[in-house]
Amino acid sequence: MKPISRIIIAISALLMIGAYFFPLWLITLDAPQYPEGLSMSLWIDKLAGDINTINGLNHYIGMKHLSTEMFSEFLYLKYIVAGIICCVLLTALSNNKKVLLGLVIILFVSGVVGMYDFWQWEYDYGHNLINTAAIKVPGMSYQPPLFGYKDLLNFTAGSFPDVGGYAVIIPAFLIVFVFIYEWFFTKKK
């Protein structure tokens, strides 16, 4: 591998540490009577934001009570991210394109599994409603968007990565670019 590739990979590993200091994902809710907006952020080990207010609203339609405890992911996510950072660092040290290929596969699989896990939780949270809910709209479910905006009754819900999320996603893409560069655009020694 070119030294520049190894440096970019090493920097990527450092950037990923940001996942521990900033929220990973942000879900926003907008409605006319909430001009100040409501939001919930997912950190590496907790939920934060207007959780009580969102719970207060969601209980009308029978959605579950949100809490950090309802996500077992918060218990092990920090170790998974640590593992990924180690893999990235080892790749930089290894100076081996096959290891780099392995890393790209790990990142790809982690990303897909992570988003699937998130989608699955959203599906459950939006569909699995308490049947004594006060407001029941036939055929209506409240699954938040995986990415982007979606109208849910009087709210517009938005779902986007936050600073900590970008701190992982951008380096991941950098690593993919490095891989493409190394694999297809440099001569084999």
Partner 1 sequence: MKHSIINKLNMNKWLTFFVLFSALFVSCTGKKKAGSAVSGDAAQKVYVAPGKYDELYLFNSGGFSGQVSAYGLPSGRLLKVIPVFSQNPENGYGYTEETKPMLMTSHGFIPWDDSHHPQLSRVDGNNDGRWLFINANNTPRIARLNLSTFTTEEIIELPNSGGNHSSPFCTENTEYVVGGTRFSVPIEGDLDVPINSYKQTFKGTLSFVKVEKEKGTMNLAFQLLVPGVNYDLARAGKGVSHGWVFFSCYNSEKANTLLEVNASQHDKDFVMAVNWKKAEEYIAQGKGKKTKAKYAHNVYSHSTHSATSTMLEDVLMLDVKELKDICYFIPCPKSPHGCDVNPSGEFIVASGKLAAVIPVFSFKKIQDAIAAKAFEGEFDGVPVIKYEAALAGEVEKPGLGPLHTEFDDKGFAYTSMFVSSEIVKWEVATRKIIDRVPTYYSIGHLCVPGGDNKNPYGKYVIALDKITKDRYLPTGPELTQSAQLYDITGEKMKMLLDFPTIGEPHYAQAIPAELVTKNQVKAYKLEENKHPYLTKMESEAKVVRNGKDIHIYMTMIRSHFTPDNIEGVKVGDVVYFHITNLEQDWDVPHGFAVKGANVSELLIMPGETQTIKWEPKEVGIFPFYCTDFCSALHQEMQGYLRISPASSKTPLMFGTNVAAVEKK
Q: Single out the segment in contact with partner 1 by CB under 8 A; choices: 3-11, 47-55, 143-151, 171-179.
A: 47-55
CB of 165 to partner 1, least distance (A): 27
Q: Contacting partner 1 (CB under 8 A), which of 135, 137, 140, 146?
A: 135
187 binds partner 1 (CB under 8 A): no
Identity of the residue numbered 41: S
Burial environment of residue 128 by CB neighbours within 10 A (0 to 12, 13 to 18, 19 or more): exposed
Name the nearest CA neighbour of 27 among 63, 72, 62.
Answer: 63
Q: Single out the segment in contact with partner 1 by CB under 8 A; choices: 5-13, 45-53, 65-73, 144-152.
A: 45-53
Q: How far apart are CA 132 and CA 150, in angstroms?
A: 25
How many residues line the site for partner 1 (CB under 8 A)? 8
37 binds partner 1 (CB under 8 A): no
Q: How far apart are CA 162 and CA 176, in angstroms?
A: 21
Q: Single out the segment in contact with partner 1 by CB under 8 A; choices: 7-15, 48-56, 82-90, 177-185.
A: 48-56
Q: Single out the segment in contact with partner 1 by CB under 8 A; choices: 14-22, 49-57, 140-148, 158-166.
A: 49-57
147 binds partner 1 (CB under 8 A): no
The CB density around residue 164, as the number of other CB atoms within 10 Å, is: 24
Q: Contacting partner 1 (CB under 8 A), which of 3, 36, 98, 188?
A: 36
Identity of the residue numbered 95: N
Q: Contacting partner 1 (CB under 8 A), which of 21, 48, 60, 117?
A: 60
Find all residues with CB under 8 Å of 160, minimum gap 6, and list them: 25, 26, 28, 147, 148
CA distances from 81 to 30, 59, 174 (A): 31, 33, 17
Our CB check for partner 1 shows the closer of 57 and 100 to be: 57
53 binds partner 1 (CB under 8 A): yes
The first and second tokens of residue 185, run together, are 């655009």
Residues near partner 1 (CB under 8 A) are 36, 50, 52-53, 56, 60, 134-135
